[in-house]
Amino acid sequence: MKNNRVTLIKIKKIPFVILITMSLWTPFVVAYDEIQVYDYGINNPGQFALEMHSNYAISGRKQPDYVGEMPPDGALAFTAEFSYGLTKQIELGLYVPMTIDTKTGATFLDDAKLRVKWLNAENQTLFYGLNTEIGWTPRHISEQPIGMEIRPIIGTYTGDWSVAFNPSLEFDLTGRGGHTPVLSPGLKITHQFIENVHVGFEHYADFGQLTHFSSGSQQQHTTYLVSDISVDNYKVHVGIGHGWINQSDEWMLKFILGGIPIGELFNPKHH
């Protein structure tokens, strides 16, 4: 489980299996990989955890950008993120994504991605860190089969307010798209709406190559209305997003179930 002073709504009698079912069968179920802004959360040393990501493109781009791509419109994605706290400030992670084309019924296993996160969050009024990821991406998702992301993390948490900013840089390690990184920042601001429930927004952008930004019409900008809740020791994140530029998907839904200890996955009664 991740360190988090935001003790959200506690419903102790809801069984673990219901939470898993929510993550798998909610309408947010299963676009690709994760859609989130990293904040001050990190596993305790020696702790394994599981986080489930589900995204659905209600209305997205309908035409492929290249031969072999699966357009985002109607795509559902499900990603299992396994993580392990190596030290108080270092966390290791593994993503195992899956994509479903709801129009054809085709299901794709989308290879895997590894990550290492360093985070200094002992003083949550100013937390900072760096997350590095490297992964293999199938052709129906991207023309670049091997990519890397460097994601700086900076923000503040006061109890009522939480602000996190990730000015991410994405690299194509194959060189097919050039070696200049793409700037894809994410911003999250939430406020405690009622006790144990935070509500706010997230904004994600893709400006294009760092040394030469894309024109405004070729960039991507999507804003999500989000809420963070907690059920017992588990964190629930839901969001609905709208894309503001033609290159962005018009409407997206996302759902994350976090803080799942792997031991309880196989033995729900064990604490």
Mean pLDDT, consecutive 10-residue stretches, the chain (271 aa), reads 40 41 38 82 93 89 77 83 96 91 75 94 96 86 84 96 97 76 96 92 95 88 96 90 84 92 59 48
DSSP code, position 14: S
| Closest of 148, 198, 210, 190 to residue 7, by C-alpha | 198
List, in sequence order, every beta strand (DSSP E) within the chain.
Answer: 48-59, 75-85, 90-101, 107-109, 113-120, 127-136, 146-157, 161-172, 182-194, 197-206, 208-209, 212-213, 220-231, 234-243, 251-260
| Residue 83: CB atoms within 10 Å | 24
* pLDDT at 27 (0 to 100): 36
* pLDDT at 162 (0 to 100): 97
97 close to 110: Cβ distance less than 8 angstroms? yes
* pLDDT at 208 (0 to 100): 92
* pLDDT at 14 (0 to 100): 41
100 close to 85: Cβ distance less than 8 angstroms? no
Q: At the fourth CATH level, which superfamily is domain 16-266? A: monomeric porin ompg (2.40.160.40)
For residue 56, how many C-alpha atoms fall within 13 Å in the half-sphere facing its CB? 16
Q: Where are the domains of the chain?
A: 16-266
Measure the CA–CA gap between 53 and 30, rounded to whole angstroms.
8
Q: Are strands 146-157 and 127-136 parallel, antiparallel or unpaired?
A: antiparallel
| Residue 175: CB atoms within 10 Å | 10
For residue 193, how many C-alpha atoms fall within 13 Å in the half-sphere facing its CB? 13
252 close to 222: Cβ distance less than 8 angstroms? yes
Amino acid at 271: H
Measure the CA–CA gap between 36 and 50, rounded to whole angstroms.
15
The DSSP H or E segment spanning 18 is helix 16-25
CA atoms 204, 138, 92, 181: torsion sign: negative
* pLDDT at 266 (0 to 100): 53
Q: Is the pTM for the entire model greater than 0.85?
A: no
* pLDDT at 205 (0 to 100): 95
* pLDDT at 178 (0 to 100): 64
Residue count (the chain)? 271
Three-class secondary structure of residue 243 per DSSP: strand
